Structure 1
């Protein structure tokens, strides 16, 4: 298999647009650096300006200083970390605080991003189905709706509520602010006074950041649908902005998309849809709360499907024939801003028979059996005592500080100063003061990231039904065996 060589020295993405030159009577490429503050340069997200594209100098800085470095087993594949780093580079400079950058690198926030991508991947499919169904019922030769179609819609709506429950579970972990997240809690320990203004600004920035992460991951499509639904999930419909591009749904369509737990009351007592999902959980959906924490041991195939979709790392989704946007796709098919490079796609020779990344094919809604809900209620549920241990490589303070100084680094490079690139390093001949043991330890640590190394865990087996268990290094999770 040919390995991908990633050159981080020179930009490879032509930032600009083609326009017709009346004088020369031909097409002319205009770089974004010559457009000034044109609308094509930025995208508004909840009132914040995010970069839509990068010019040549910005791309050079990003590829040399901020692209995911180091020896990793998934370096040639797009992961959630790549999308997060791109949004960090394209976000407004007022976001660049030590607190915010450190927060988005937390493992709990990473899992929330992952759950939101799974939810919106399914949500956009249902919105597309609604729009198609709306067109079919408004034409002269309209199609009749039967009892079977209504039952299939109820099952699809139930599936969407399950994805929403998974998002609510991960978001509630962040709200509790336990462990490493305690430093981000909005009240002080002794006086317990809430910093309302600071906390509100922090939440709005994080929500805008999350919208960008989900939008870029899902091929930059249906932006206003994602923005509207994201604000509805974390606030409620009473606090949605009146944006002309937001779609409008009928009461029947709303009940299909938002589920049976969605209720609108007086704004003084209104709860967010995520809170409403946690307050009304069906008995057969209770095992969803353990997904990612313990292995499911029941006979409900729907829970097993959810567990597989959530537990497979993003860089390995193509092995399970699962599509979550651009996650798991090779970097050779994408440019610096993670948009499809269509010449590379054409040369890859994908077809309906060979399309592991769902580029030629499109993710579709599978028609379920009509007795799905009855079968789920009759399924057996066993005790879940096999605990899962997540692996997440902590980000160093040096990397965090590098992100905080992003604006200074870009200004430094645009002033004509060097970034100490690869071309300059061979002429410096730095002294290596490390001893042999340090070099060997670094080599073993690097190889642990490139291959799966099985090591015995040292946790005492003092639980009921506990047994010696092992962990796999180099993956995104631990599991008991």
Structure 2
């Protein structure tokens, strides 16, 4: 059953408050027309204010000008591009520079965001496990930990370190100053001068955007846990900003969450946790560094599972029954700000037996088998000679310039430019006397659209072209095949 697409220009997110109207004896919704002084208008990330909520006019502008078009690949499900576009719309004006927007649309940055989403999906589960375990082993009804419990916690900690390796590998690809990353390097290769101040501000902006992307992808929960861990990964613990809402972990909990390679030394010689993960990689974990680059050939089930989880696109995670936040969820379950719409969830009739998007089922940790780490050391691996090709749609110069004109576009619409809806668009099309595009242009646009959705490099068979031609002939009044 195909779902009917709703109008893309109708507001879905309503910002306001409900009150009781005693005269009409009913509830009355009062929208926030001016949110400048509204409570919780902004959210502060690393000292920078991002918009937390928007009014209906800002929503219409975003949906009409900046949202991912319906003709793009997998437009009906949530992807990394949707979350990135939303963060670009709510970020401060001083963040909008050509270099920074171009950097966020690079394939290496998208792979880093993908690995961070996978890491934080399991990191938040581990933090929840630590909090529950903390309550179980304390108080009057404290439970005793067995040797099997310690082995399980050790295995889970190693698993979390493996996801941290993927993040470290993708981050080092950005730092290596190779391929298309060379133009973003802060060292001028001609005069050999380093732009330390500019690189520091660039790094601060990038971390703030990463926190926002991960927070939105994780259902907007555990914000301070995400912010603290993101700063720890890229800065080290010496440079964590002080905040009273950051969680405090004991030494045992820190060793469980931060892994076996975490070491704190003097801040002058301190390395970030991402670099520490790559300096001491066990022999059985070396194939992890090739995940997404070459096809794994071996009998280690753990690495095969990580490879499947990494190479499957976020829009198709329901096919392997894995949840990475809101990636791959249908858009009709969310509003414009990618917040879950619970009435739509109830109408979808999800249950524990039918829950392809892990919305009803709570996040869970699969208990590892006993002695699984010892069994992994005995696994066999073979030469990897199958390269994996990552399909990536580059960002055009026009798209970057559109984001640079964000402030001017919003000001233009607020000054009186018409925000078109479905009625005004239909009236405009009916009043138009244009004959439309030519037949060859219709066929070429159709082939380009189908090749983009099927990812087949523009190869469309002759039957598709003949079918498109016959459909155009029937529309023109000429019935032939």
For normalisation by structure 2, the TM-score amounts to 0.90
2:472 aligned residue: none
SS at match of 1:315: helix
Alignment partners' CA distance in 2, 1:410 and 1:324: 33
1:170 aligned residue: 170
8 Å contact kept, 2:70–2:76: no
Does 18-27 or 285-294 show the bigger shift? 18-27
Alignment partners' CA distance in 2, 1:30 and 1:419: 21
Residues 149/407 of structure 1: CA separation in 2 closer, same or farther (3 Å cut):
same
Aligned pairs (5 A) from 1:44-63: 44-63=44-63
Instruction: Give the aligned CA root-mean-square deviation in angstroms.
Output: 2.2
> Would you say 1:443 and 2:446 are equivalent positions?
yes
Alignment partners' CA distance in 2, 1:363 and 1:451: 32
Aligned pairs (5 A) from 1:280-429: 280-418=280-418, 423-424=424-425, 426=429, 427=431
**Cα deviation, residue 33, structure 1:** 3.0
Alignment partners' CA distance in 2, 1:263 and 1:257: 13
1:270 aligned residue: 270
SS at match of 1:390: coil
Residues 383/407 of structure 1: CA separation in 2 closer, same or farther (3 Å cut):
same
1:477 aligned residue: none
8 Å contact kept, 1:4–1:76: no
Larger radius of gyration: 2
Deviations 1:223-248 (A, max 9, x none): 00000000000000000011000000
Residues 92/455 of structure 1: CA separation in 2 closer, same or farther (3 Å cut):
closer
Alignment partners' CA distance in 1, 2:144 and 2:288: 35
For normalisation by structure 1, the TM-score amounts to 0.90
1:206 aligned residue: 206
Does 386-395 or 18-27 show the bigger shift? 18-27
SS at match of 1:388: coil
Deviations 1:271-302 (A, max 9, x none): 00000001111111110110000000011000
Residues 20/271 of structure 1: CA separation in 2 closer, same or farther (3 Å cut):
farther
> Would you say 1:14 and 2:17 are equivalent positions?
no
Deviations 1:276-332 (A, max 9, x none): 001111111110110000000011000001001101110100110000011111111
Alignment partners' CA distance in 1, 2:395 and 2:100: 13
**Cα deviation, residue 415, structure 1:** 1.3
SS at match of 2:137: helix
8 Å contact kept, 2:35–2:55: no
Which of 449, 453, 456 aligns to 1:453? It is 456
SS at match of 2:33: helix
Residues 26/133 of structure 1: CA separation in 2 closer, same or farther (3 Å cut):
farther
Residues 91/33 of structure 1: CA separation in 2 closer, same or farther (3 Å cut):
same
Deviations 1:57-86 (A, max 9, x none): 100000101111142341111111111111
Residues 438/145 of structure 1: CA separation in 2 closer, same or farther (3 Å cut):
same
**Cα deviation, residue 22, structure 1:** 11
Aligned length: 455
